[in-house]
Amino acid sequence: MRAKLSRVLIGLVALALAGCGSSGSSTSSSVSARGYPSGSITVFAAASLTESFTAIGRAFEAASPGTKVTFNFGASSALAQQITSGAPADVFAAASAKNMQQVVDGKAANASTAFARNVLEIAVPPGNPAQVAGLADLGEPGVKVVLCQPQVPCGALAQTVLGKADVTVEPVSLEADVRSTLAKVQLGEADAALVYVTDVTAARDKVKGIEIPAGVNAATTYPIATLSDSKNTDLAQAFVAYVLSSAGQSELTKAGFEAP
């Protein structure tokens, strides 16, 4: 049975690489007439994966007709809580090993695989009205800074970075995830925010990124896992395999993620 499943997964990834290198809710597991997994899956993924996973999902569906991937993007901490509370999902892609471990400890997944790495960057409005040049400026009086909530991976990472830089910040707000944090800057409600490099890249000209020196920056590793209660394990494992394939990794690199 294990050998047969391996052949199915290898076949699907090979088809994806050959045909799409550039490019619901869960249902019962099924296999198409060609021998590849079919049906639908729901993927819970960190908010910072929105653009890259949406593109990967389209490529995966195109490579395997008859499949459907539905995404639920949000803060990894909130998604982990939903999964351990019984929310129906097939795959979990978190922005930190800690949140994935919550799911493993809750018996909702057996193991995970690292697939990407991310670091922080300062995001400011295009005109940079507060003249923020680096981390030290975030602690200046009158500079309106927004951070992710401390239990969220981007919030925990921000505290690590500020601690290493010995900068004390009193944020004007703590947001639920990295996208809502960045939105405060985009809307002109904040002078700066600490978000992922990939989020600054995704925002294009709506914000300006200020690089954080490597000596004080911090990184987070993203793990992915098939969930124990998946109703379509074959397809869930095939999606994970695609994310780990050269095609999936290429899409993540394009979005600004680093190799794990």
Report how far residue 156's alpha carbon sits from residue 36's, in angstroms, rounded to the nearest whole number. 40
CB 140 within 8 A of CB 133: no
Report how far residue 204's alpha carbon sits from residue 207's, in angstroms, rounded to the nearest whole number. 7
Q: Output the pLDDT for position 15.
A: 41
Q: How many Cα neighbours within 13 Å face the side chain of 168?
A: 1
End-to-end CA separation in angstroms for the chain: 31
CATH H-level superfamily of 2-117+221-254: Periplasmic binding protein-like II (3.40.190.10)
Q: Output the pLDDT for position 30.
A: 57
Residue-by-residue pLDDT tens, the chain, 260 positions: 334 334 444 454 444 433 333 333 444 445 554 556 889 999 999 999 999 999 999 999 999 999 999 999 999 999 999 999 999 999 999 999 999 999 999 999 999 999 999 999 999 999 999 999 999 999 999 999 999 999 999 999 999 999 999 999 999 999 999 999 999 999 999 999 999 999 999 999 999 999 999 999 999 999 999 999 999 999 999 999 999 999 999 999 999 999 99
Give alpha helix (H) positions in 21-152.
50-63, 76-84, 97-105
Is CATH 2.60.40.10 the classification given to domain 118-219?
no
DSSP 258: B
Task: Give the chain's length.
Answer: 260
Which sequence spans correspond to the domains of the chain? 2-117+221-254, 118-219
DSSP 138: G
Q: Output the pLDDT for position 37.
A: 84
At residue 212, what is the residue type?
Answer: I
Decide if 2-117+221-254 and 118-219 have a common fold: yes
Count of Cβ atoms closer than 10 Å to residue 176 Cβ: 17
